[in-house]
Structure 1
């Protein structure tokens, strides 16, 4: 009977994996993303139900149901009430919860093995213990790094910590901590004998060192690097879960962890490419640690009223709108959708240009525009639309900064040199909606703002776009 149950559970986990992959495929396009999320939810619910009949479960149903209820209530309340501006923070926290779960599984696996060694003679199964302990330890190490790193990322995104904290010799310290953690994992896997349990002090040391490593990796994160780092921690969480699945012989964890790890890894590579960083640079460099730009700023800031900008766009043939995090902060996406409709009614060709790292997480701007009901066929990625700027009458930049900064092409001393950018500066006229004259989240001065064909529209994005709408309605 036990063998039959195990077969059914494993078969169900396999079906769950196939459904996850199908769901991820549908999530890759805005028009099918919602159904992809629903399918992934069904798959997760099915996997959870399967776990109740897993042979390794010995009557702990009350605790399982209690945990599901508590987690479900918290998730339901937070997901319904989170603001669009706080979506990156929620993603970081949820990723941290997943990695913390992997670390907890590692801790339980290591501690349970110790109890077995102390209470029973396990000479017949001893040869299986070191590999299991090694895998559990590796999963715990990765999980703790991702957990504390995700928490730091959440604190930075939520404004609870300074954007960048520098530590002298951070790379050397991180290397030493990583070597120490790996040594602890190897010791845990090899010091166990037939009558000696894993050292509890080693387990504690491993977890403390791993947690410290995650903090030090995330602490120097700059604003421009946030999408890459969130993707990286997402990949690490999946990897940790997969290792714990192998250690505990749970195929559901193995498959789901591999899917998440693979998706996160691919996304990290794509984000790094979008910022002209190699993966090794993302993993080992000091995030955002670079010299300030030495290229002299020519020109001056030229403010203009929102109404004047609106008039120019209303009589244009082609307008490209570039959204950034400032649009999310002002919650102006619905006003932008209304502006788009008014311009289209006047015969203006309106398109949206999305940079891969716009916002605070991958796909942030796509979700924002989709929420406002902006048609998918108006939204274009950098590679699809960049050649069109030179033939564009007006560009409206709302809350974006580094992704339109022309020094990325010209100034080798700039932290963003070499990063592919949207060619907004090549348009005939550029209007930039910005709350003030600050350098933005990354701290890099934007030379676009000083060009002869650029005018600044200062003020809250929602109010400024609303003023543009009012002006166009008077025509």
Structure 2
């Protein structure tokens, strides 16, 4: 067993590694090394915590760590990049549920200590946590109770919210916004009841208050995320990431674990900052995101007139051969078809022919922040031709050909033209200003978010139907 000095030193080292990991993820070239910083930091944190003072029951803990490690390794090896958003949502739910269980157990231990003290039974058989509780003054125990309440509320909201986000991302739950009659009033009422239960608990009410608090919080998390449309899921995933961090931090205070506090605060603050950045990118109100108050329409959306005009591979290749500048806009459809390598080869051939080729990346392209950047980096697309929306949007009027691969909402002109659209006011890539737009799409459906796109009906747009990878592969032999 290690002394507290070793554990404290390990906590500082792990915290530094976590900070380095977060900092490195801001740069694609340093991201792989940053991930290793995080892996090593977590290994140090788990090892030194497990063998720290007051820790026992290794006969149970070591097998559970081994089982969890094997499951995590197998899941990570089997999950495709297209399923990464669902995996992230699922992992957030685990953190939330763990926070609820730990908080419940902390209160049971508190009650056990108080009962033993009332009977003057001592604390010889107390657990390490119970022994710590036995040393606390009454005001410190009140703070412990506050930490328990906060952990249960945030953890429960995170759990059910993440489960619904997983369902929507995986297509198992309808991506359209859905609310029960009463809408936000139900959420407000449930939150008010949670506050009442917290007051009763702090004034000596039984364990039942924490059970009801969790049940109401589970409902709030479920109803909040059910009310958010599929088009906004990237922001939701980021927001839930922040929630899971704050839940972990609350449990860190409860357990007097400095490393858990630091780690939770890093995750919570970075997730909140990312959510804010994404809200600005989507022209959403940050407070409304936190309250789950966006994603619904304000009225009937405008009718789309015209028809979608299809084109074959020969027609697309002919136009590309005559073009000087090409912009490619990737979306989740490219990830589903695993077309990134075919796209990379197309880019190589076009650049070899002397054409200017660049990528336009919307901040919420795909279903996870940075999703498209990771896929393109995996396919070895040069970093310097991958541009963000603000860097390239003004260049579309000077672009000969834009190829949209599996994107819908991020290239939808209704965001600018239709105030009743679910994505009204969201900044989008103005691809329709290009001379020609080719949309690589499986069929004529509205896609994951269920929002119709007038771009598909414009005169300068041609629909290149089919699986994205097969469609791009069919172009390769036709490019001069």
Match of 2:179 in 1: 166
Structure-1 separation of matches of 2:19 and 2:181: 43
Q: 1:292 to 1:87 in 2, by over 3 A?
A: farther
Deviation per CA, 1:401-429: give whole Å up to 9, x if none: 01111121222222212111111111111
Which of 51, 61, 65 matches 2:62? Answer: 65
Asked whether the 8 Å contact 1:134–1:188 carries over to 2, the reply is no
1:221-240 → structure 2 map (5 Å cutoff): 221-240=228-247
Match of 1:247 in 2: 254
Match of 1:330 in 2: 337
1:427-438 → structure 2 map (5 Å cutoff): 427-438=434-445
1:303-342 → structure 2 map (5 Å cutoff): 303-342=310-349
Match of 1:152 in 2: 164
Shift, 1:104, TM fit: 1.9
Match of 1:208 in 2: 215
Structure-2 separation of matches of 1:364 and 1:247: 35
1:51 maps onto 2:71 in alignment:
no
Structure-2 separation of matches of 1:20 and 1:354: 27
1:35 maps onto 2:33 in alignment:
yes
Match of 2:154 in 1: 142
Structure-1 separation of matches of 2:66 and 2:135: 40
1:98 maps onto 2:95 in alignment:
yes
Q: 1:289 to 1:202 in 2, by over 3 A?
A: same
Q: 1:63 to 1:439 in 2, by over 3 A?
A: same
Any idea what SS the aligned residue of 1:54 has?
A: coil
Shift, 1:294, TM fit: 4.1
Deviation per CA, 1:201-260: give whole Å up to 9, x if none: 112111111111111111122111101111111101101111111122110110000000
Structure-2 separation of matches of 1:111 and 1:288: 40
Deviation per CA, 1:74-100: give whole Å up to 9, x if none: 110011111221111111111111222
Shift, 1:293, TM fit: 5.6
1:81 maps onto 2:68 in alignment:
no
Which of 109, 117, 126 matches 2:114? Answer: 117
Any idea what SS the aligned residue of 1:120 has?
A: helix
Match of 1:351 in 2: 358
- Count of equivalent residues: 464
Structure-2 separation of matches of 1:21 and 1:285: 29
Shift, 1:470, TM fit: 2.4
Match of 1:421 in 2: 428
Which shifted more, 231-240 or 299-308? 299-308
Structure-2 separation of matches of 1:212 and 1:449: 39
Asked whether the 8 Å contact 1:293–1:415 carries over to 2, the reply is no
Any idea what SS the aligned residue of 1:159 has?
A: coil
Match of 2:273 in 1: 266
Asked whether the 8 Å contact 2:93–2:158 carries over to 1, the reply is yes
Deviation per CA, 1:350-369: give whole Å up to 9, x if none: 11111011111111111111
Shift, 1:14, TM fit: 2.1
Deviation per CA, 1:269-324: give whole Å up to 9, x if none: 11111111011221235442114664453543111112211221132111110001
Any idea what SS the aligned residue of 2:478 has?
A: helix
Q: 1:292 to 1:308 in 2, by over 3 A?
A: farther
- When the two chains are superposed, the root-mean-square deviation of aligned CA atoms in Å is 1.8
Structure-1 separation of matches of 2:304 and 2:170: 32
Which of 387, 394, 400 matches 1:387? Answer: 394
Deviation per CA, 1:145-166: give whole Å up to 9, x if none: 1011101111111122222333
Any idea what SS the aligned residue of 2:407 has?
A: coil
TM-score, with length taken from structure 2: 0.93
- Consecutive unaligned residues of structure 1, counting only runs of 5 or more, are 192-197
Asked whether the 8 Å contact 1:330–1:460 carries over to 2, the reply is yes
Match of 1:376 in 2: 383
- Consecutive unaligned residues of structure 2, counting only runs of 5 or more, are 119-133
Shift, 1:343, TM fit: 0.8
Asked whether the 8 Å contact 2:278–2:363 carries over to 1, the reply is yes
Which of 104, 108, 119 matches 2:105? Answer: 108
Any idea what SS the aligned residue of 1:350 has?
A: strand
Any idea what SS the aligned residue of 2:251 has?
A: helix
Which shifted more, 106-115 or 116-125? 116-125
Shift, 1:200, TM fit: 2.0
Which of 9, 12, 16 matches 1:11? Answer: 9
